[in-house]
Amino acid sequence: MQELSDVSAQLNKLLVAADLCSLQVAESKQFIDYLTLLLRWNARVNLTAVRDPDAILSRHFVESIAAARALPPGLATLLDFGSGAGLPGIPIAICQPQLAVTLAESQSKKAAFLQEAIRTLGLNARIHSGRAETLARTFDCVTLRAVDHMELAARLAARLVAPGGWLAPLTTYADLGAIQSAAGPGFTWSNPHPLPGSDQRILALAHRSTD
């Protein structure tokens, strides 16, 4: 991997290639710190199967940044359901610091990583170290990406969306229909946002009715 001082240049190059705006200086530093922490912890905790630093930038970071920028405006709270290594929740917290982000992760070692990432990066975020469905509140937006049993997760995540809020799974065109069925009635689905890096990956957005 290139020197960490070159990481921001590489990440910005990937963003521009994906027709996305470059990061601000402060954001770039946070992503460098995030990558450093992710690589260190991934050596002893299985946070992500993608271990090559350049692949983490291109497959995880760019997609999550694209999703962060495509979220509906006016959100105040966001839940990252089954956050794992913090994707997309940590990039969202970096790109949208006004959002109060909750990272829900039931595996204790991954939750410990997320807590360290929040502390190191100085994010406006908190950890729910447990199953997301045990939360006794709802959120303006609920994201989920690469979680186990995605259809079940979508059904549970839908219950945590506040009236007038948004469900925002990062998924594929092929899996979208099953996720829409799992979320159930009461949601109006917008046209999906294509995500960079694959012609199949999308951010799906569903608006929950206020009734």
Each residue's pLDDT, cut to its tens digit, for the chain (211 residues) gives 456 668 899 999 999 999 999 999 999 999 999 999 999 999 888 898 888 999 999 999 999 999 999 999 999 999 999 999 999 999 999 999 999 999 999 999 999 999 999 999 999 999 999 999 999 999 999 999 988 899 999 999 999 999 999 999 999 999 999 999 999 999 999 999 999 989 999 999 999 998 7
CATH topology for the 4-208 domain: Rossmann fold (3.40.50)
Owner of token pair 């995500």? 195
CA atoms of 43 and 41, how far apart (whole Å): 5
Q: What pLDDT sits at residue 157?
A: 97
Q: For residue 48, how many other CB atoms are within 10 A of its CB? A: 18
CB 65 within 8 Å of CB 18:
no
CA angle 41, 80, 102 (to 5 degrees): 85
Q: What pLDDT sits at residue 1?
A: 46
Q: What pLDDT sits at residue 96?
A: 97
- Domain ranges, ordered by start, for the chain: 4-208
61-97: pLDDT as tens digits: 999 999 999 999 999 999 999 999 999 999 999 999 9
Instruction: Please give the model's pTM, rounded to 2 decimal places.
Output: 0.95
